[in-house]
Amino acid sequence: MKKVLIISYYFPPSGGPGVQRVLKFAKFLPEFGWQPVVLTVEGGDYPARDESLLDEIPQHAIVYRTKIFEPYHLYRKLTGKPPHAAVDVENIPGAGKKKSPAESFAEFIRSTFFIPDARIGWYPFAVPEALKIIRQEKIQVLYSSSPPYTTSIIAREVHRRTGLPWIAGFRDPWTDFLSTPERWSVPQSIDRHLERSVFREATLVEAAWNGILKDITKKCPDIDQKKLIHIPNGFDPEDYPKADALNKKKFTVAYTGSMYGKRNPQTFLRAVEELVREKKIDLKKITLKFIGRFGSEVHAMFERTSIRHAIETMPYTPHAQSIGELLRANMLLLVVDEAKESEEIVPGKVFEYIGARRPIIALAPEGAVAQLLSETKTGYVAHNQDIAAIKAAFLECYRNFIYHRKTFRPNWNAVKRYERRETTRLLARLLDLASSPKST
């Protein structure tokens, strides 16, 4: 069996959506002739940890772990945050929220010296380890998963030293994205140079959503379009229990994931508040369940709303438990960040929702998410600021629940295309292509 070295910061015990893509690739690749060898970190400072995912690492996967210098404990000390505070949910402010002087100073250090990101402390450990793995395991292809974009820089150096074909994978755009630090001219120029060098030097570039490929083309207009490939995220049917756990007592809407900054439930809560005031829904017959990691401003929204008695919050839960919460819900809430890239963003979570076979209400602009839900016939789309449209979608599903109407009829043929086995098949084809004599 041919071997691929997968360089990924996010791997169990890391939790969150970023880990699932690589974990499922590792699970299914042997079915298509590829042995996964994973290089990841030891003791990473992950935004979320999920020890249960360690049991999901397939036995056939060979996993190497190295040291990493993580600067976030220094960041927490500088900003006065608790030792184990999740940096992401408390580091990206909402509209109009100003950073403290300590936060501004820490952000300056981060944006000036940690390029392309705060995981660059992995580079001196990962590169020599990767070279050793290549010799020991007789690796034929490299695959890197970003973000963090440090993994791309590691893979680029290994590619340069070994000449092995390299597929650079991206789950989000690199520079000028909503999560990109605000850098001044010199570090910004260095970051953009690194980004372009990765796009140009990689044998192939694959992306989880088409908007990433459009962004690459805009930044590198002369790039060969044949090397840019879209492999969507997906869901694994084996993650979903067969028993139907649907809540039949209360109309339950579930949200799983994180919320902070421009991704928040403000307009959704307002829409439900209005429906309650208009007596179109009974507050005693609904539950709004938010499961995951939320910034302090989001918790404040939950406390302020007049429908707070219908809201249940749960901290980040293990992946299997999170899936169980989706299956107990009658409707699933998706909120896409309000940003200039919103039309193109396709959160990996939407595929997990699709796999749960529950109607989805997506707060998103007309764009990639709307096209996906239309193709699969799995939900409703309302612009984040369109209160009337949010109310209409919520009310229709609520009434379907109250009157026991079964109107949810997805396009199962379209849904099947997004199973993890099928998306891994696409990656295996790329590995075959990259490792063929013609490509090298």
Mean pLDDT of 266-277: 98
Looking at 100-109, 377-386, 396-405, which range is the least confident one? Answer: 100-109
Looking at 93-102, 305-314, 398-407, which range is the least confident one? Answer: 93-102
258, 293 contact by CB (below 8 A)? yes
> pLDDT tens digits for 106-126?
778 888 889 999 999 999 999
Greatest alpha-carbon span in the chain: 69
pLDDT at 440: 46
* Residue 384 pLDDT exceeds 90: yes
pLDDT at 291: 96
- The alpha-carbon radius of gyration of the chain (Å, integer) is 22
User: Domain-by-domain residue ranges, the chain?
Assistant: 2-71+114-234+420-435, 238-416
pLDDT class of 244 with cuts at 50, 70, 90: low
pLDDT at 178: 83
Mean pLDDT of 243-268: 88
Task: Measure the CA–CA gap between 308 and 312, rounded to whole angstroms.
Answer: 8
pLDDT at 166: 98
The 8 Å CB, 24+ separation contacts for 193-201 are 194/115, 194/116, 194/149, 194/152, 194/153, 195/116, 195/149, 195/219, 196/220, 197/156, 198/149, 198/152, 198/153, 198/156, 198/168, 198/174, 199/168, 199/223, 201/156, 201/159, 201/160, 201/166
State the average pLDDT for the chain: 92
List beta partners, residue 286.
251
- The fraction of the chain above a pLDDT of 70, given in percent, is 95
pLDDT at 86: 63
Domains 2-71+114-234+420-435 and 238-416 share a fold: yes
User: So what's the architecture of 2-71+114-234+420-435 in CATH?
Assistant: 3-Layer(aba) Sandwich (3.40)
Mean pLDDT of 26-45: 97
Task: Measure the CA–CA gap between 153 and 120, rounded to whole angstroms.
Answer: 9
Concatenating the DSSP letter of every residue in 323-366 gives HHHHHH-SEEEEE---STTTTT---THHHHHHHTT--EEEE--S
- The fraction of the chain above a pLDDT of 90, given in percent, is 81
Mean pLDDT of 38-43: 96
pLDDT at 328: 93
Position with higher pLDDT, 146 vs 70: 146
Residue 85: Cβ within 10 Å count: 15
> pLDDT tens digits for 82-98?
766 665 555 554 445 56
Task: Measure the CA–CA gap between 129 and 311, rounded to whole angstroms.
Answer: 48
165, 142 contact by CB (below 8 A)? yes
Residue 405: Cβ within 10 Å count: 11
pLDDT at 241: 86
pLDDT at 122: 97
Looking at 16-25, 31-40, 145-154, 190-199, which range is the least confident one? Answer: 16-25
> pLDDT tens digits for 208-226?
999 999 999 999 999 999 9
Given the DSSP bridges, would you call strands 360-363 and 379-382 parallel, antiparallel or unpaired? parallel
Position with higher pLDDT, 292 vs 245: 292
Q: In what order do the strands lie in the sheet with 379-382?
A: 311-314, 286-294, 251-259, 331-335, 360-363, 379-382
54, 20 contact by CB (below 8 A)? no
pLDDT at 271: 98
Please give the structure tokens belonging to residue 59: 């036995």
Mean pLDDT of 406-429: 96
Mean pLDDT of 69-91: 69
CATH 3.40.640.10 for domain 238-416: no
Instruction: Give the three-class secondary structure for 5.
Output: strand
pLDDT at 439: 54
- Whether the predicted model's global pTM rises above the 0.85 cut: yes
Mean pLDDT of 407-419: 95
> pLDDT tens digits for 137-195?
999 999 999 999 999 999 999 999 999 999 999 999 999 998 888 899 999 999 999 99
